[in-house]
Each structure stands twice: as C-alpha cells, then as structure tokens.
Amino acid sequence: MSDGYTAIFALFALVAIVAFFLATVSRTMALREEEGNDRRRGLFGRFHRQDDFFVVDATGKTILMQAVAQGFEEGVDHVLVKASVEAVNSATDDGTTALHCAIASGNPAIVSRLLGFGAQPNVADHDGRTPLWLAVHKEDARIAALLLDCKADPNCRVGKNRLTPLMAAAKNGRIEVVNLLLDRGADPRLVAEDGRTAAQFARENFKANMVEQVAHNQKLARMVLR
C-alpha cells in the first residue's frame, strides 16, 4: 500500500513538473512574440495601451515629447490616438510641454496637430518661455503664425527684463517675425524692465549691424589694397 501511495505521489509530482515546464515555455514564447511585434511596430508599438506610453523618465518626459522632438510625424499620430488632452499638455520638471518640444524640431505639421488636439499655446516653462517666444527666437514665422492663430499671446513677458516677443524679434533683427507680430496685435508701446521699447531695440540692432558691416567692408578694403 505504501508503495502504491509512493507511486501515485511520484506521478502527481511528475505531472506538476511537466505542467510548470509547459507553462514556462508558453510564457516565454508569448513574450518573444510580443517583442517581435514590438520590433515590427517600431518604437511606438510598445506603447499600445494608454497607461503604457505616458511618462518615460524621472523628469516627466513623455513618449509624445520624444516623438515631437525628433520630428517623427507618424509616431506623434500614433501617440495622439491614445492620448488625452491632459497628456498632451503634461509638463516635465522644468515646465517643458510637447508643444515647447515641437518648436525645437521646427515642424509646422506637428505643431498644427498638437494645437488641433488641444495643446495650450500660452503655457510657459519655468524660465517663462512660451512656445511663441521660442518660435520668435528661432525666427520661425510659419510656426509663430500657427500659434497666433490659436490665440497665443503676442504680448507675453519673459525674463528679468520682461521682454515681449516683439521686443525679442526687434532686438535680434527678425524682420519677418516683427511684421507678423505687429499684424497680429503685438503692442509696440510696451516697455521692458530697463525702459526700452521694441523700436529702441530695433534701432540698437540696426546700429550694431551697421557698425559690423562697416568693419567688414574695411577689412575687405585692406585685403584688396595689399
């Protein structure tokens, strides 16, 4: 009888071991199949569920920000299908949103997609920079126009000197952007913290450029006369 119980126990143990082995193999094959699908779908295929694609590192960067910063339109479209408006407007620890990232990549199509999905154009990062401010500094009139179409504030203030986008554009000689901002409601009467207006910044820029051009011409003249 004892031998019979021993044989039965051994049989159950063998069945349990075989079942465990088969289950392990099945899980391994499933994981490999999923990894294979991920490789076929690419980077964004791994984030097929809404709770998967969101934050990707400790700073609060999202997979959407990564796609936007790389100018990856297909990836942006894939993420937006799964995203919420809150996810699109999520910010990193320094206040950067996906729309801020889109200015850096300089892709008007992506900026338009984000704005159409509900990205907020007047959100400032921790340095006070709005997407419009960044577009002005890049002298990107196309993207600046898209932002202004979605009610970006042309008179927002940035930095200790409280510069407006118009002042920044005038200071850097961004003529096309200056004209755009003036057409869209930028106020040329506003004064920076140091008392200068956009017109004064423009005059200073013109004078500096003239001095630089004169110096350049003098160098050319000296080279010719040698």
**Mean pLDDT over all residues of the chain?**
78
Cα(64)–Cα(78) distance, rounded to whole angstroms?
9
What are the phi and psi torsion angles at 37 (to 5°)? -65, -40
220 or 7: which leads in pLDDT: 7
Rounded mean pLDDT of 205-214? 63
Does residue 158 sit in helix, strand or coil? strand
In the predicted model, is pLDDT for residue 154 greater than 80? yes
Contact, 117 vs 146, CB < 8 A?
no
At 55-65, the pLDDT tens digits run 778 888 999 99
Q: Which residue is it, tokens 């920044």?
A: 168
| CA 20 to chain CA centroid, nearest Å | 47
Residue 101 confidence (pLDDT) above 90: yes
Helix axes 141-149, 175-183, angle to 10 degrees: 10
With a cut of 80, say whether residue 8 has pLDDT above it. Answer: no
Read off the pLDDT band of 5 (50, 70, 90).
low
pLDDT over threshold 60, residue 91: yes
Checking phi first, is residue 162 left (phi over 0); if not, alpha (psi -120 to 50) or beta? Answer: left
How does pLDDT run across 62-79, given as a tens digit for each residue? Answer: 999 999 999 999 989 988
Q: Which residues contact 86 (CB under 8 A, 6 or more apart)?
A: none
> What percentage of the chain has pLDDT greater than the value 90?
47
